[in-house]
Amino acid sequence: MKKRDSAKGARYGMVIDLDRCTGCGTCTIACAAENNVSVLYDESDKTRNINWLKIYMLTNGKAFPHTEVVYLPRPCMQCGNPPCVPVCPATATTNDSSDGIVSQIYTRCIGCRYCMAACPYHARDFNWFDPPFPEGMDRYLSPEVSPRMRGVVEKCSFCHHRLMSAKSKAYFEGRRDLKEDEYIPACVEACPTQAITFGDLNNPKHRVSELIKSPSAFRLLERLGTEPKVYYLTTKDWVRRMADNYLQGESIERG
């Protein structure tokens, strides 16, 4: 595993404990409600629907009674070396060096979907339709996040508006640094099993900086060099092996 970068600024990331996750979907609902993710008339069409935080069911492929099932939530990996950023001709997606968050600027997006093709995690969605919010629904939308129009790409932002709100509060109080619990995305706050931990990976006082050192920690497709800031924890070796293209008999020990 590659070492963490030594950026001077914050580097926000999360650790998801797969041994705790029950696949209940509360995080996906909280994410959609917080970020005004639109619901299509036909949500069964998975080639068109929008979901910033998908949950995948993994199985070890063994017959009962040796079957094991694990649920894997997959937000945007907020890569430290994001392949989506350099391919965008409109600079609609950027990697903020001050907090490590990969943003998506909807008003710049021209809908070319190069970023979707470049993302190895399939973490981006394209708006094929104008948001089908019924009349009066605008009163129930989050005022902090703008609804997206047809023809643009959107994705998980680590609830960036919450970071801006926390920074404004700290500035008003004469502080520059945020406390660990001041900025927490909606999915982290809503998880009933507390399977998701969030914080500054560069801050040794934050719990995430300790969790990523665990021998049970891993990242998806780490060999690509994208440097994801979303880590996973599990004691199941077969789950960690599925996270990357390991050869048969190859060790997956952290190095």
Confidence of residue 40 (pLDDT cuts 50, 70, 90): confident
Above 90 in pLDDT, residue 9?
no
- pLDDT at position 133 is 77
Determine the structural domain holding residue 237 and report its residue range.
12-242
Cα distances from 125 to residues 60, 67, 128, 191, in angstroms, run 29, 32, 9, 23
Instruction: Give yes or no for residue 7 having a pLDDT over 50.
Output: no
**CA 60 to CA 73: how far, in whole Å?**
17
pLDDT on residue 253: 64
Q: What would the pLDDT profile of 195-243 be if each residue is shown by its tens digit?
A: 999 999 999 999 999 999 999 999 999 999 999 999 999 999 999 989 9
Taking residues 37-54, what's their average pLDDT?
84
Residue 1 lies inside a defined structural domain of this protein: no
User: How confident is the model over 162-181, as pLDDT tens digits?
Assistant: 999 999 999 999 998 889 99
pLDDT for residue 254: 54
Residue 53 lies in a domain: yes
How many domains does one find in the chain?
A: 1
pLDDT tops 90 at residue 8: no
In a domain, 62, yes or no: yes
210 is a domain residue = yes
Considering the domain boundaries, does residue 248 fall inside one? no
Per the domain annotation, does 255 fall within a domain?
no
Domain assignment of residue 33, yes or no: yes
Q: Provide the pairing of β-strand 196-200 with 12-17.
A: antiparallel
* CATH for 237: 3.30.70.20
Residues 6+ apart with CB under 8 A from 183: 12, 162, 163, 166, 198
How far apart are alpha carbons 245 and 221 in whole angstroms?
7
CA distance 97 to 99: 6
Give the mean pLDDT of the chain: 90
Whether residue 42 is predicted with pLDDT greater than 90 in this model: the reply is no
